[in-house]
Amino acid sequence: MFKRLRGYFSNDLSIDLGTANTLIYIRGQGIVLNEPSVVAIREDKNRGAKSIAAVGSAAKSMLGRTPGNITAIRPMKDGVIADFTLTEKMLQYFIHKVHPNRLLRPSPRVLICVPCGSTQVERKAIKDSAEGAGAREVYLIEEPIAAAVGAGLPVSEARGSMVIDIGGGTSEVAIISLNGVVYAASVRIGGDRLDEAIMNYVRRNFGTLIGEATAERIKHEIGSAYPGSEVKEIAVMGRNLAEGIPRSFTLNSNEILEALQEPLAGVVEAVKQALEQTPPELGADVAERGIVLTGGGALLKDIDRLIAEETGLPVVVAEDPLTCVARGGGKVLELLDRKGGTPFFLE
Amino acid sequence: MGDTNDGLAERPGGESAGQRLRAAREARRQGIDKVARELHLSVGTVGALERDDYASLPPPAFVRGYLRGYARLLGLPEQEIVDAYNRVAGGGSDPEPGAVVRGQSEASPTSWFGPLGLVLLGMAGIWGYQHWRSSQISGEAPSPVELSEPVPVEPAVNGTAMPGREEVAPSTGGPAPASNPMAAADALGSPAASPYPSTQPQPSPQPLRPEVDTLTLSFSGESWASVTDAEGKKLLFENVTEGQVKTVQGKAPFKITLGRPADTHLEFNGQAYDHGYKTNRTSARFIVPRNAGH
C-alpha cells in the first residue's frame, strides 16, 4: 500500500539497461539520464566491508585508474546482468537521481528493455533487480521492438520492418510486423567487442597495451566500418610491451578498419542469416524500404554503407540512434494506461 | 549549420531538399539510375525524393535516412538536407505503435459495462413506470377485454405510456392497429368512432361503458337506502323522504339495500332498472350488475 502511495509521487520510467550505458526516459519529459553502466566499489580491507564509491560517469572515469581498494565494475555483460547486487544498486542510484523529491523514496513503474536472446533466468534477474531497486511494477520488453518503435518504424503495420540494434554488449537483428517479432537473433558482438578488437590489434601490431577507454576513444574518433576516401589519424599513448614504458604512437583509420573487420563480419553474418530466415513477403518489404540501424554502434562511421554493400539493400541510420531503445520504451510506456494496454510486454 | 534556414533560402538552386539534390546530381552529370544503384534504392524512390513527393515514400524514418545517404553521396551537408525535409514534412510524425492490437481490444469488459448498465437501468425504470401506469389505467378505465375489438387495445395501453415500444406489442391482430398507438388511444375515449374495420363477426354493436356508472334513486315514500360500489365505497347511506331523488356515481356493480323497495325507483346509467320488489314488506338487498340495463 505504501508502495502505491509513493507511486503517486514517482514517474513512470523507461530504462535502457545497456552494457555500456543506461538511459532513462521519463514519461512526458523525455530522456533525463544517460550514464555509463559502471559502478565503483570501495573495499575496506580491515573490516572487509564494501561500499559504493561512485556510479555512472564518475565511476567510468575511474575505469583502469583505481587504487587497490577501489574496483570499477561494469555489472552488465553481453546485455544481461553479470553482478546482480551491483546492478540493483546502480538502478537504485539512477532511479533516485531522476526523482528530485527526497522526502519519499521513489516507487515508479518501470519498463526495461531486455535482449531478445536473453534467457528466462536472465530476465527474471533483471526484473528482480529493478524491484529490489524500488520499482513498484516492472514491465519487460524486447529490445528490437523498443528500438523499432523509437526509430519511428511502422511496427503495427502488416509490413516487415528490419531493425539492427548494435549496443554495447550485443547486436540484435529482428524483423517486426504487426506489433510482433517475426524473427530475432542476438549476437554477442557490440561496442565492447569493437574496443577489444582495437586493443588486440594495437597489442599485436604495435606491441603496445592500451586501455578500454583509449580504445573507445580511438573508435569514436577514427573508427569506420567501410573504406572511405579520407584517412584520419590519431595519436595515442600506450605502454610499450618490450620497453615497459608508456610511448606515444599514431594510428590511422585504415588500421582501425582492419582491426574491426572480424567483429563487424559477425554482425553482417547475423544480418544475412536473418534475411535468409525471413519469410519472402516480409523479405520483399525489407528489400523495398531498407534496414534501420539503431544503438550506439550505428554511430560507427559508414557501418550503414558496409551493411548496404554486403546485403545490397538500402540501409538507414535512425535519428539519434543511441536513445532509440529508451525512447521506444517511453512510447510504449505512454500506451500503458490506455484501454487494452500494450501488446509488447513479455510474460 | 546554425544558419541553415537562411542559408537554404539564399541558394539559387531552390530551397527544397529534392531540388538541391537534383541540382547537385545534374551538376555532377550523374544519371538517376546510377545514383539509385549506389544507394540500393529504386529509380522511382530516388525520383520521388528529387520531386519532394513524400506521399509515395515510406515513413519519415526511412526518408530521412535516404536523404542522408543521397546527400553524403553527392557531398552535400546531410543535416541541411534533412532540416529542409523536416521543414516541408513538418517534422514527420512517426507511426504510432500498438494501433492494430489496441483497436481489437477496445471492447474490454469495463469499457462497455458502464453504458450497458445505464441502458439496463433506464429500461428497468421505463418498465416500472409503464407497469405502474398500466395499473393506474386499469383502475380507472374498463378492462380492455370488454371492448368490441380486443386486439388493438393491448398496444393502446402500452402506447399511452411509451409510444416507442411498438415492437414489443403482440402482433396477433391486424398490423395497423398494433403499429398505431395514438389511434388505439383514441379508441378508448370514443368507441363509436373506432377507425379499425373489423373483419371478425361481432355479436351485436355494444356501446362502450362509461368509466363512471351513475345510479339514480327516486323515492316515492319515506325510506332508507344504502349504496356501495364495487370498491366498497359507501356512496349513499341515509334516510330519505318522499319525493327525494338521489344520484350517486361510482363503479358498478352496486350493492344496494333499500328499506322500502316498492317506493324506490332506480335508474342505472340513464336507464330504468327493475329491482323486482313489488311490496315494502321486507327490505331489499340486491346488486345492480355492471351490465345492467343492456
CATH value at residue A313: 3.30.420.40
Select the residue of B58, B68, B96 nearest A289 (Cβ to Cβ).
B58
Determine the residue among A163, A339, A344, A345 to mutate to test chain B binding: the one whose Cβ has the most chain B Cβ atoms within 10 Å.
A339
A344, part of any domain: no
Question: Taking residues B170-175, what's their average pLDDT?
Answer: 38
CA distance B30 to B168: 78
Q: Do B61 and A289 touch (CB under 8 A)?
A: no
Residues 236..275 of B with a Cβ closer than 8 Å to A: which?
A: none
Please say whether the beta carbons of A167 and A295 come within 8 A: yes
Question: What cell numbers appear for B72 in the block?
Answer: 553524403
A5, part of any domain: no
The confidence score (pLDDT) of residue B281 equals 76
Predicted confidence band of residue B26 (pLDDT cuts 50, 70, 90): very high
Select the residue of A308, A317, A342 nearest B98 (Cβ to Cβ).
A342
Question: Taking residues B48-76, what's their average pLDDT?
Answer: 91
Poorest-pLDDT segment among A99-108, A253-262, A328-337 = A99-108
Q: Which amino acid is at A120?
A: Q
SS3 state of residue A251: strand
The confidence score (pLDDT) of residue B103 equals 32
Q: Do B95 and A155 touch (CB under 8 A)?
A: yes
ipTM above threshold 0.90: no
Predicted confidence band of residue B91 (pLDDT cuts 50, 70, 90): low
Poorest-pLDDT segment among A30-39, B21-30, B55-64, B104-113 = B104-113
A46, part of any domain: yes
| Residues A176 and A310 occupy one common structural domain | yes
Determine the residue among A14, A155, A163, A323 to mutate to test chain B binding: the one whose Cβ has the most chain B Cβ atoms within 10 Å.
A155
pLDDT, greater one: B14 or B152: B14
Provide the shortest C-alpha distance from residue A79 to chain B (in Å).
24
The confidence score (pLDDT) of residue B68 equals 92
| Residues A170 and A317 occupy one common structural domain | yes
Predicted confidence band of residue A207 (pLDDT cuts 50, 70, 90): very high
Distance set, CA A75 to CA A15, A18, A84, A96, A144 (Å): 15, 10, 7, 18, 22
| Residues A205 and A234 occupy one common structural domain | yes
- Answer whether A299 touches B (CB < 8 Å): no
Poorest-pLDDT segment among A81-90, A224-233, A322-331, B176-185 = B176-185
Provide the shortest C-alpha distance from residue B48 to chain A (in Å).
13
Question: Looking at the predicted structure, is the pLDDT value of residue B197 above 50?
Answer: no
Question: Looking at the predicted structure, is the pLDDT value of residue B43 above 80?
Answer: yes
Rg (CA), chain B: 46
Q: Which amino acid is at A171?
A: S
Question: Which residues from A are below 8 Å from B100, CB to CB?
Answer: 156-158, 178-179
Please say whether the beta carbons of A144 and A176 come within 8 A: yes
A135, part of any domain: no
Question: What cell numbers appear for A208 in the block?
Answer: 603496445
Predicted confidence band of residue B191 (pLDDT cuts 50, 70, 90): very low
Provide the shortest C-alpha distance from residue A129 to chain B (in Å).
28
Select the residue of B62, B68, B101 nearest A340 (Cβ to Cβ).
B101
Q: How many residues does chain B have?
A: 294
pLDDT, greater one: A174 or B286: A174
b/e per residue B132-155 (b: at least 16 CB within 10 A): eeeeeeeeebbebeebbbebbbbb
| Residues A246 and A299 occupy one common structural domain | no
- Residue A274: give the domain boundaries: 158-189+265-321
Q: Where are the alpha helices (DSSP H) in B141-180?
A: 150-161, 175-178
The whole-angstrom distance between residue A114's C-alpha and the CA centroid of its chain comes to 10
The confidence score (pLDDT) of residue B33 equals 92
Of chain A, the percentage scoring pLDDT greater than 70 comes to 93
Question: Looking at the predicted structure, is the pLDDT value of residue A93 above 80?
Answer: yes
- Answer whether A67 touches B (CB < 8 Å): no
Question: Which residues from A are below 8 Å from B112, CB to CB?
Answer: none
Q: Which residue of B has its CA nearest to A294?
A: B61
Say what the pTM is.
0.64
Question: Taking residues A205-229, what's their average pLDDT?
Answer: 93
Residue A69 known to bind ligand:
no
CA distance B217 to B267: 7
| Residues A57 and A204 occupy one common structural domain | no
Query: What would the DSSP string read from start to end of A20-39?
Result: SEEEEEETTTEEEEEEES-E
Select the residue of A152, A340, A344 nearest B94 (Cβ to Cβ).
A152
The confidence score (pLDDT) of residue B278 equals 82
The confidence score (pLDDT) of residue B98 equals 56
The confidence score (pLDDT) of residue A232 equals 92
CA distance A288 to A273: 18
Q: Do A343 and B65 touch (CB under 8 A)?
A: no
Q: Do A149 and B42 touch (CB under 8 A)?
A: no
Question: Taking residues A96-111, what's their average pLDDT?
Answer: 78
Provide the shortest C-alpha distance from residue B79 to chain A (in Å).
11
Question: What cell numbers appear for A236 in the block?
Answer: 595515442
Residue A299 known to bind ligand:
yes
Question: Taking residues B221-240, what's their average pLDDT?
Answer: 85
Q: Kindly report the average pLDDT of chain B as a whole number.
A: 69
SS3 state of residue B66: helix
| Residues A203 and A237 occupy one common structural domain | yes
Predicted confidence band of residue A162 (pLDDT cuts 50, 70, 90): very high
The confidence score (pLDDT) of residue B163 equals 39
The confidence score (pLDDT) of residue B109 equals 39
A172, part of any domain: yes
Contacts of B282 (CB under 8 A, 6+ apart): none
Phi, psi of A140 (to 5 degrees): -110, 145
CA angle B157, B159, B161 (to 5 degrees): 80
| Residues A305 and A180 occupy one common structural domain | yes
Cis peptide before B253 (omega within 30 of 0): yes
- Answer whether B68 touches A (CB < 8 Å): yes
SS3 state of residue B279: coil
User: Which CATH number covers residue A231?
Assistant: 3.90.640.10
- pLDDT tens for residues B242-272? 888 888 888 888 888 888 888 888 888 888 8
Please say whether the beta carbons of A292 and A160 come within 8 A: no
CA distance A329 to A346: 13
- Answer whether A237 touches B (CB < 8 Å): no
| Residues A222 and A253 occupy one common structural domain | yes
Q: Kindly report the average pLDDT of chain A as a whole number.
A: 88
Select the residue of B40, B68, B102 nearest A313 (Cβ to Cβ).
B40
CA distance A6 to A10: 7
A223, part of any domain: yes
CA distance B73 to A245: 44
Q: Do B68 and A335 touch (CB under 8 A)?
A: no
| Residues A184 and A277 occupy one common structural domain | yes
Provide the shortest C-alpha distance from residue A292 to chain B (in Å).
8
Secondary structure letter of residue A53 according to DSSP: E
Looking only at the bridges linking them, the beta strands covering A161-166 and A291-294 are parallel
Q: Last residue of a domain, which of A241, A259, A277?
A: A259
Counted domains in chain A: 3
Determine the residue among A316, A335, A338 to mutate to test chain B binding: the one whose Cβ has the most chain B Cβ atoms within 10 Å.
A316
Of A341, A343, A320, nearest to A31 (Cα)?
A320
Of B209, B207, B208, B215, nearest to B288 (Cα)?
B215
Question: Taking residues A254-258, what's their average pLDDT?
Answer: 94
CA distance A72 to A37: 10
CA distance A346 to A235: 47
| Dihedral, CA of residue B231, residue B235, residue B239 and residue B241, to nearest 10 | -140
| Residues A311 and A214 occupy one common structural domain | no
The confidence score (pLDDT) of residue A5 equals 55
Provide the shortest C-alpha distance from residue B61 to chain A (in Å).
6
Q: Name the helix (H) or strand (E) containing A185.
A: strand A180-187
SS3 state of residue A119: coil
Please say whether the beta carbons of B279 and B262 come within 8 A: yes
A19, part of any domain: no
Question: Taking residues B122-148, what's their average pLDDT?
Answer: 61
Q: Name the helix (H) or strand (E) containing A76.
A: strand A76-77
For residue B158, count other CB atoms closer than 10 A to its CB. 20
Please say whether the beta carbons of A125 and A80 come within 8 A: yes
Question: Looking at the predicted structure, is the pLDDT value of residue B206 above 80?
Answer: no
Residue A40 known to bind ligand:
no
| Residues A220 and A317 occupy one common structural domain | no
Predicted confidence band of residue A38 (pLDDT cuts 50, 70, 90): very high
Poorest-pLDDT segment among A44-58, B103-117, B142-156 = B142-156
Residue A218 known to bind ligand:
yes
| Residues A166 and A269 occupy one common structural domain | yes
Predicted confidence band of residue A148 (pLDDT cuts 50, 70, 90): very high
Phi, psi of A254 (to 5 degrees): -65, -35
Question: Which residues from A are below 8 Å from B40, CB to CB?
Answer: 290, 308, 312-315
Q: Where are the alpha helices (DSSP H) in A8-138?
A: 57-60, 84-97, 120-132
Please say whether the beta carbons of B246 and B226 come within 8 A: no
A173, part of any domain: yes
Q: Do B99 and A156 touch (CB under 8 A)?
A: yes
The confidence score (pLDDT) of residue A24 equals 93
Cis peptide before B201 (omega within 30 of 0): no
For residue B123, count other CB atoms closer than 10 A to its CB. 10
Predicted confidence band of residue B71 (pLDDT cuts 50, 70, 90): very high
Q: Which residue of A has its CA nearest to B62?
A: A316
The confidence score (pLDDT) of residue B204 equals 44
Q: Do B101 and A338 touch (CB under 8 A)?
A: no
| Dihedral, CA of residue A120, residue A124, residue A130 and residue A131, to nearest 10 | 150
